């Protein structure tokens, strides 16, 4: 049985999909783009700022289920410019400090609302882990 997960701390869906779906011990998070949850607009700034916003949106969804980045088992990163990979990787690494999840990174022609980065995650619930929070400093 699936459970639809939604939080006001992350941007609302901009189409016919859910922020996340819980199926058993797995949480499948829809791809997040750098939308400000309050304004619904892409955040200003470079790829670092946009990647942080994406990961903060993911943190909010994880937190809604009392999960953290420690629970993430798989991520997929979509970039409109693979030349941004190194910068995105540095920001990403600040959120996944130890035992990082499996990951795929692909370049795509375009993303919704003209975003430059989108990240989706799959998390697995367990009995441990730290609360989701910004570890970028």
- CB 103, CB 76: distance < 8 Å: yes
The reply to whether the predicted model has a pTM over 0.85 is yes
Nearest to 133 by CA among 29, 74, 52, 77: 52
Residue that wins the pLDDT comparison between 87 and 1: 87
Write down the residue that tokens 């701390």 correspond to: 9
Q: Region 42-69: what's the mean pLDDT?
A: 97
Q: How confident is the model at residue 14 (pLDDT cuts 50, 70, 90)?
A: confident
Six-digit token pair at 61?
A: 């969804």
Domains of the chain plus CATH, in order, are: 2-124 (3.30.1330.40)
Please state, in angstroms and rounded to a whole number, the distance separating the CA atoms of residues 24 and 39: 33
DSSP H or E segment with residue 107: strand 102-107
pLDDT over 50 at 10, yes or no: yes
pLDDT over 70 at 130, yes or no: no
């Amino acid at each position: 049985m699936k459970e639809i997960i939604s939080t006001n701390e992350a941007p609302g869906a901009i189409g016919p999909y859910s922020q996340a779906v819980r199926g058993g011990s797995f949480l499948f998070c829809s791809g997040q783009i750098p939308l400000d949850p309050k304004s619904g607009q892409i955040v200003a700034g470079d790829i670092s700022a946009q990647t942080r916003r994406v990961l903060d949106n993911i943190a909010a969804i994880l937190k809604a289920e009392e999960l953290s980045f420690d629970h993430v088992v798989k991520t997929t990163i979509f970039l409109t410019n693979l030349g941004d990979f190194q910068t995105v990787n540095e920001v990403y690494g600040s959120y996944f400090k130890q035992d990082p999840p499996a990951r795929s990174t692909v370049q795509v022609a375009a993303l919704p609302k003209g975003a430059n980065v989108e990240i989706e995650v799959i998390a697995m619930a367990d009995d441990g882990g730290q609360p989701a929070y910004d570890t970028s400093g």
